[in-house]
Structure 1
Amino acid sequence: MEGLKAEGMESQNQLPQSKHQGKGTTFLKTCFNGINALSGVGILSLPYALSQGGWLSLILLLLVAILCWYTGLLLQRCMDTNPVIKTYPDIGEVAFGYKGRAMISIFMYLELYLVAVEFLILEGDNLEKLFPNMAFKISGIKVAGKKGFVLLTALVILPTTWLKSLGMLAYFSAGGVLASVVVAGCVFWAGAIDGVGFHEGDMLLNLGGLPTAISLFAFCYCGHAVFPTLCNSMKDRSHFSKVLLVCFISSTISYGSVGILGYLMYGQHLKSQVTLNLPIRKISTKIAIYTTLILPLTKYAVIITPVATAIEDTFSIGNSRFATSVLIRTGLVISTASVACTVPFFGYVMAFIGAFTGVALSMLLPCLCYLKMNKTARSFGLELIIIVGILVTGAFIGVLGTYISLKQIVNHL
C-alpha cells in the first residue's frame, strides 16, 4: 500500500517547469487558480464563524491569513532549495525521507478529497432551499431532498474532472472568482435593499465558540496542498510569491466583507451557509443561490486534480491511459457523492477539515519541513521565533478544533 502511494504521488512531477520556455500557465491564470483554491465555499460560512466567535474573532481571521501566507512562502523556499522538488510530497521526502512524503500525502489528499465532499454538500443544501419538495427516481429508487441534489450535482460536474490542463482549468477558476464576487454583492443587496437590514451581530466575544470560528478560518486558507502544483505549473516560478500575495489579499477582503455583512444581518441566527438565511422570495437571494451553485462546477476539478493524477499515474496502462483516467476520476466523483450523502453537515465538516488537515498542511508541516531543510533558519533569531510561534498556535488550534468538530459530527449522525 505504501509503495502504491509513493508511485502515485510522482505523477504531478509531469507538470511543466519554469525552465521550459513557452510552457506553463501565466501569472494571471495562476492567480485565478490560486484565488479559486482559497476563496469560494469558505466565504459562505464566514458570517456563521463570526456568530460563533464574535466581532473580535475578526482579529483571528487576519492572523490566520498572515500565518498561512507566510507558510506559503516557506513552501516556495523549500522548492527553491532543490530543482527536483515539484510537489508538496516531494518537499516532505527531501526533508524527512519517505515517512515525510507519506505523512504529507495522507493529509494532502484527505484534505482535497474532503473539500470536494463539501462542494457537494453545499449544492444539496442550497438546491433543497430552492426546491424543497423535489424528488428523483434513480433505477426505480426514490431519492429526495439533499441526497437527490447531491447525486444530480455529481453528474453535472463529472465532465469537468476529465480536464487535465491547469491552464484550461484557469478559465473555470475565473468563473469561480466572479461567482464569489456576485455572492458578496447579493448578500449586501439583501441587507441594504431587500429590507433585511444590518441590526444584528452585537456580540463582542464568545470564548466557547472560538474553536469553531478559528477552525472555519483555517479552512478558508487551506490551499497549501495545491500551491506547489500551481507554482510548478508557472512559466516563471520566481513570480509565485507575488501570486501568493495577490491571492491572500483578495481572499481576505472577500471573506471579511461577507462575514461582516452576514453577521450584521442575522447575528446569532446564522446557519452554516449565509445563503440559507436569505429570504427565498427575493431576487437577490435567488441570484446568490444560483451563483453559489456554480462554485462546485468551477472549483471541484481544480481541487480533485492532484488526487486524480496521483492515482491515474499508478493505474494507467499503455494506450488505455485516457480511458483509465476517466474511470478513476469518475470513481472519485462517485465516492465523494456517497460521503456527502452520508455526512451532510456542512459547517461541522468544514470545521473538521480546517482543524485537522488544514492546520497540519497550512501551518505545521511547512514550518517543520523548512526548519529541517534550512540550517540557517534553526539559528536563534526573529525567523525562528515566528516559526515556533506558528507551530505552537497551529498545534493548539488543531487539537482543540478537531476534538470539538468531531464531537459535533458524531452528535448529529
Structure 2
Amino acid sequence: MFIVSFPYALLQGGYWTLLSITVVAAICTHTSRIIVKCLYEDDACGNQVRVRRSYVDIANRVWGPNFGGVLLTLAQVIELFMTCILYILVSGELLHGCFRSRDISLATWTVISTVPLLPCVFLQSIRRVSYLSFWCTVTHMIINVIIVVYCFTQVSRWHWDQMPVEINIWEFPISLGIIVFSYTSQIFVPTLEGSMRDPKRFTRVLYCTHISATVIKSLFAYVCFLTWGKETMEVITNNLKQPGFKIAVDLVLVLKALLSYPLPYFATVEIIEQECLNPQSPFCIPSCINDQRKLKPWTVVIRVLLVIASMLLAVFLPHFSTLMGLVGSFTGTMLSLVCPCYFYLHIHGGRLYWYEKLVNWVILFLGVAVGGTGMYYSGLALHHAMNDNPSLITTVNITELGY
C-alpha cells in the first residue's frame, strides 16, 4: 500500500526522494543477499552448505539461543502481525471512503473486510501463499497502469516547474521511512530462498525484482507528482476527482490489500509454530498437524483467533497506526538494515576485505540513524495524536500507509 504515498514523498523531498528510492533499493538488495550468505558455511572441502534455516537460526549463532532467538522471534512477530493489522485497517478505510453515503461505520467496514481473510487459517504451504502474492502483484500492476495512463492523458497540464529542490525537514524523514519499509523483505528471504527449486538463482531473482521495483516506484511517483504538483495528496487516489473512477481504483486497492495479507499472516503463524514446536522451548506444544497432514482442530481455532485479534486491534485501538509506525521504525530498520550487516560481519567478517567491512558498517550506522529519526517523528506524531492535535493528521496518514 505504500506506493500510493510515494508521489507525496516527492512533494517533501523532490529529486532527493528519487535518489533515496534508488539508494535504499541497492542497500536492501545487499542486506537480503548477505542474510542468505549467513545461512551457509564452508564444509571441509570448501563447499557452501546450508546449515541454518531461518533468520532466528542466524541470531542464535551470533547472540546465543537464550537471547538471540527470543529477540529476533519477538521482533519478527511484532512487525509481521502489525503488517497484518495494517492491511485490514487500510481495507476498512478504503471501503468506508468508497461508500461513505451508505451510513456504515468504519468499524463495520473493517469487520466486513476481514471476512474474506478467514480462509487464510488453512494455509500450510509457501507455494499457495506465493500464488496469492502473484495475484497481489497483478492487482498492483493494474493500479499502476490505470493511474499512470490517466496521468499521461493529463500531460499537457503537467507541473514541470513545481518539483522541489529543498527538503521538508519535518516530513521527509517519515517519507524516507516509507521508502525503507517498502523494500523490507529480509524476514522472508530465508524461507523463499530455501523453497526455490534452484537456490543458486536467488541472487539473480533478487536483482531483477529490486531493479524492476525501483523503476516502477520512481516512474509512478514522478509521473503522478507532475500531474498534480503541489496539490498532491498523502494518498494519490484522493487526487482523482471523478467519483466512479476513484471508487473503482480504491476497490482494486482493497483487493490488493486483502491479497497482501496472507504472506505476513503465514509467516507469523510459521514463526510461532516453529518456536512452540521446538523441544527446547518453554512453550513447547504438540504437533499442529495430524497423520493425514491436516491441521488439528485446536490449531485451526488458534489461527482463527489470530485473524480475529488482528481485526479487533484494527477496530478498537484509535491511534494504533501511529503506534505501529513507532514500533515499525525500530523493528523495520533493525531487521532490514542493522541486523543483517551485524550478523554478516560477525559470521563471515574474518574473510572479508576491508572495503566490504566498511560498506557493511556504513549501512549499519545508517540504519541506526534512520530508525532513530523515524522513531522520534513517529513518537512525536503519537504524542500529538493522543492529545487530539489535528496538525499531525498528515503525518499519521503517511506513517500508517508507509509501514
Normalised TM-score (structure 1) = 0.81
What's the counterpart of residue 363 of structure 1?
337
Q: Which residue of 1 aligns with 2:247?
A: 286
Which of the residues 179, 199, 202 maps onto 2:139?
179
Report the Cα distance in structure 2 between the residues aligned to 1:190 and 1:128, rounded to whole angstroms. Answer: 24
Q: Is the 8 A contact 2:155 2:227 kept in 1?
A: no
Change in 2 beyond 3 A, CA 1:63/1:270:
same
The alignment status of 1:202 with 2:163, answered yes or no, reads yes
> Which sits farther off after the overlay, 355-364 or 44-53?
44-53
Change (3 A) 1:266 1:216: same
Q: Distance in 2 between matches of 1:110 and 1:227?
A: 17
1:409 aligns with 2:382: yes
User: Aligned partner of 1:338: which letter?
Assistant: L
CA drift of 1:263 comes to 2.0
Distance 1:382 1:111 in 2: 32
User: Residues 28-107 of structure 1 correspond to what in structure 2 (within 5 A)?
Assistant: 41-81=1-41, 83-98=50-65, 99-107=67-75
1:89, CA displacement in angstroms? 0.6
Kept after mapping to 1: 8 A contact 2:35/2:344: yes
> Any idea what SS the aligned residue of 1:242 has?
helix
Q: CA deviation at 1:193?
A: 3.0
Structure 1 distance, partners of 2:240, 2:286, is 47
Match of 1:256 in 2: 218
Cα distance in structure 1, aligned partners of 2:68 and 2:117: 33
Matches within 5 A, 1:264-413: 264-283=226-245, 285-313=246-274, 314=276, 315-316=285-286, 319=290, 321-343=295-317, 348=322, 351-352=325-326, 355-377=329-351, 381-413=354-386
Separation in 1 of the partners of 2:192 and 2:237? 30
- Whichever residue aligns with residue 392 of structure 1, its letter is F
Asked if structure 1 preserves the Cα contact closer than 8 Å seen for 2:88 and 2:311, the reply is yes
1:353 Cα deviation from its structure 2 partner = 5.9
| Residue identity opposite 1:218 in structure 2 | V
Contact 1:231–1:237 (8 Å) recurs in 2:
yes
SS state at 2:296 partner: helix
Distance in 1 (alpha carbons) for counterparts of 2:249 and 2:286? 41
Q: Secondary structure at the match of 2:186?
A: coil
Identity score, percent: 24
Q: Partners in 2 of 1:221 and 1:122 — Cα distance? A: 19
**How much has 1:104 moved relative to structure 2?**
1.8
SS in 2 for 1:331: helix
Shift of 1:341: 2.4
* 1: CA distance, partners of 2:383 / 2:230: 23
Matches of 1:410 and 1:339, distance apart in 2:
19
Mapped to 2, the partners of 1:354 and 1:215 lie a distance apart of 9
* Structure 1 partner of 2:399: none
Q: Secondary structure at the match of 2:51?
A: coil
Structure 2 length normalisation: TM-score? 0.83
User: How far apart are residue 162 of structure 1 and its match?
Assistant: 2.1
SS at match of 1:375: helix
Q: Give the drift of 1:375.
A: 3.4
* Greater displacement, 388-397 / 403-412: 403-412
Q: Take 1:188 and 1:347, find their aligned partners in 2: how far apart are those partners?
A: 28
SS class of match (1:56): helix
Find the counterpart in structure 1 of residue 281 from structure 2: none
SS of residue matched to 1:85: coil
Counterpart contact for 2:91–2:258, Cα < 8 Å:
no
1:369: how far off? 0.6
- Partners of 2:319 and 2:233 lie apart in 1 by 11
| Residue correspondence of structure 1 range 155-194 to structure 2 within 5 A | 155-193=115-153
- In the aligned structure 1, how far is the partner of 2:240 from the partner of 2:229? 13
Deviation at 1:58, TM superposition (A): 1.2
Shift of 1:342: 3.9
Cα distance change of structure 1 residues 345 and 361 upon mapping to structure 2, 3 Å threshold: same
Aligned-partner residue type, residue 366 of structure 1 = P
Contact 2:193 2:202 in 1 (8 A): yes
Cα deviation, 1:133-176, whole Å, max 9, x if unaligned, reads: 3345xxxxxxx1x2221111111112134212111222211111
> 1: distance between equivalents of 2:16 and 2:372?
22
Maintained 8 Å contact 2:154/2:227: no
Q: Do the aligned partners of residues 86 and 135 (structure 1) sit closer, same or farther apart at CA in structure 2, a change above 3 Å counting? A: farther
Which piece of structure 1 moves more, 313-322 or 330-339?
Answer: 313-322
Alpha-carbon offset, residue 310 of structure 1 = 2.9
CA 1:271–1:115: 2 relative to 1, 3 Å: farther
Classify 1:199/1:125 alpha carbon distance in 2 versus 1 (closer, same or farther; 3 Å).
farther
Matched, 1:113 2:103: no
CA distance 1:204–1:245, shift in 2 (3 Å): same
- In the alignment, structure 1 segments of 5+ residues that lack a partner are 1-40, 137-143
Kindly provide the amino acid, as one letter, of the partner of residue 203 in structure 1.
Answer: P
Maintained 8 Å contact 1:93/1:100: yes
Q: Given the alignment, which residue of 168, 171, 189 partners 1:227?
A: 189
CA 1:122 to 1:262, structure 2 compared with 1: closer, same or farther past 3 Å? farther
